Amino acid sequence: MNSLLDYSYDELECILTEMGEPKFRAKQIYEGLYQGKSISEISNISNDLKQKLLQKFCDYPLSIHTKLVGKDGTIKYVYKLSDGNLIEGVLLSYNYGNTLCVSTQVGCRMGCKFCASTLGGLIRNLTAGEILAQVLFVNRENKGDLKNRKVTNIVLMGSGEPLDNYDNVLKFLKLVSNDDGINISQRNISLSTCGLCDKIKQLADENLGITLTISLHAPNDDIRKSMMPIANRYSIKEILEAIKYYFNKTKRRIVFEYSLVSGVNDSLDSADELIKLLKGFACHVNLIPLNDVKERSLIGTNRKKAYAFMDRLISGGISATVRRTMGSDIEGACGQLRNKILRGDT
Ligand code: SAH
């Protein structure tokens, strides 16, 4: 069952007009929804209208299943969707604001060897409203409203491959950055992809201001193929071509994610190869020591070695940082907590 969050303001107006309601109802409902309220919580519409709406739409797309607060203030959420499926989110606090990591699919079909989200395959795509609800819900849960937002930044780095759910993700990006809603600037949104080249080019043509993040994780196709099945479909050369196209259209600097896996992609030779590959690109490399995943035998590089890799990149003229490990005491990485729950460990 769809929720009202799946619709734009104009679409909501049409829905209400078709139900014989005056247009201003759309404004009342829209405001309530963007404050994070469910249909039944919106106080300025009649019970009769609520009942009519609830026959066609679900009250709210998600509820909290589990919430864990880490020592560093990181909050991990597991939400339950209206069909019972579970997805994850993480709220990270920084000095410039709070970043919410959102999921775009239940599960994932990309099969990356180090990722917990893909272990059970793809279950289904999330609708635009289910992605938006994560933002509005967490904003409200942390006592934010539309003026004083508690979610200021968004990363599409939860479970799922955003570009494998293109239409819903695009609609979400438009809804969440709309002036009349929660109005999160597209400049504060990052979309992370394992590199679906055709979709990257399509996204470049949408004229959005978001940051594109590429999960590269390897300096050459052989290593990449050993970590990510998608590397059999698109070569690194094709990815670089696609992001050149993206950069030329948007003028937005590209970010590369590089998860460091001990003995696989973390040697200084790999760093040198990466320097050659990325030289001349307007880019930044985010190094993330792999979070060990119980179900996988891959082990993260230690921080000392990660910093040595970073220093090598910087001395080769590539902007790079090692990402702070946050929420590691609460299974902060992609898909870890959901799997623990599905395994029955919690
Ligand atoms: N499908 C998208 C977004 C989801 S994952 C993508 O591939 O980019 C978000 C980021 O976390 C990706 O860079 C992904 O490769 C990385 N990641 C997944 N599992 C990880 C782990 N166990 N440790 C470190 N990074 C991981």
Query: Which overall architecture, per CATH, does domain 62-343 show?
Result: Alpha-Beta Barrel (3.20)
Helix H or strand E segment including 274: helix 268-278
Between 3.30.920.30, 3.40.630.30, 2.70.180.20, 1.10.150.530, what CATH number should domain 4-54 receive? 1.10.150.530
Res. 141: pLDDT tops 80: yes
79-93, 218-232, 295-309: lowest mean pLDDT where? 295-309
Percent of the chain exceeding pLDDT 70 equals 94
Helix H or strand E segment including 272: helix 268-278
Mean pLDDT of all residues belonging to the chain: 93
The mean pLDDT value for 253-263 works out to 95
Separation of 153 CA from ligand 1 center, angstroms?
18
pLDDT digits (tens, 9 = 90+) for 191-204: 999 999 999 999 99
Burial 252-264 (b: 16+ CB within 10 A, else e): bebbbbbbbbeeb
> 196 with 164: CB under 8 angstroms?
yes
Q: Detail the DSSP E strand segments found in the chain.
A: 62-69, 75-81, 86-94, 97-101, 105-107, 122-125, 153-156, 189-193, 211-215, 254-260, 283-289, 320-322
> 171 with 128: CB under 8 angstroms?
yes
Separation of 31 CA from ligand 1 center, angstroms?
34
| 334 in active site | yes
Separation of 334 CA from ligand 1 center, angstroms?
6
Protein residues with CB under 6 Å of any ligand 1 atom: 110, 112, 114-115, 157, 161, 192-194, 215, 257, 259, 288, 290-291, 293, 333-334
Separation of 115 CA from ligand 1 center, angstroms?
6
Substitution candidate for ligand 1 out of 215, 239, 303 with most atoms within 8 A of CB: 215
pLDDT digits (tens, 9 = 90+) for 216-237: 999 999 999 999 999 999 999 9
The mean pLDDT value for 93-112 works out to 95
User: What residue spans in the chain does CATH classification 3.20.20.70 cover?
Assistant: 62-343
Both tokens of 32, joined, read 């309530």
What's the pLDDT score for residue 327?
67
Q: Within 10 A of 175 (CB to CB), how many other CB atoms are there?
A: 23
User: What residue spans in the chain does CATH classification 1.10.150.530 cover?
Assistant: 4-54
pLDDT digits (tens, 9 = 90+) for 66-83: 999 998 889 999 999 999
The mean pLDDT value for 173-189 works out to 96
pTM of the model: 0.95
**What's the half-sphere exposure (Cβ side, CA atoms, 13 Å) at 88?**
26
SS3 (DSSP) at 152 = coil
| 38 vs 82: CA distance, rounded Å | 13
Separation of 169 CA from ligand 1 center, angstroms?
17
| 174 vs 186: CA distance, rounded Å | 9
Substitution candidate for ligand 1 out of 104, 112, 115, 226 with most atoms within 8 A of CB: 115
What's the pLDDT score for residue 166?
98
Q: Point out the catalytic residue in the list 88, 161, 257, 331.
A: 88
Q: How confident is the model at residue 345 (pLDDT cuts 50, 70, 90)?
A: low
Q: Which amino acid is it at 341?
A: I
Supply the residue whose CA is at minimum distance from atom 9 of ligand 1: 157
pLDDT digits (tens, 9 = 90+) for 4-60: 999 999 999 999 999 999 999 999 999 999 999 999 999 999 999 999 999 999 999
| 117 vs 6: CA distance, rounded Å | 24
What's the pLDDT score for residue 297?
78
Biggest alpha carbon–alpha carbon distance for the chain: 68
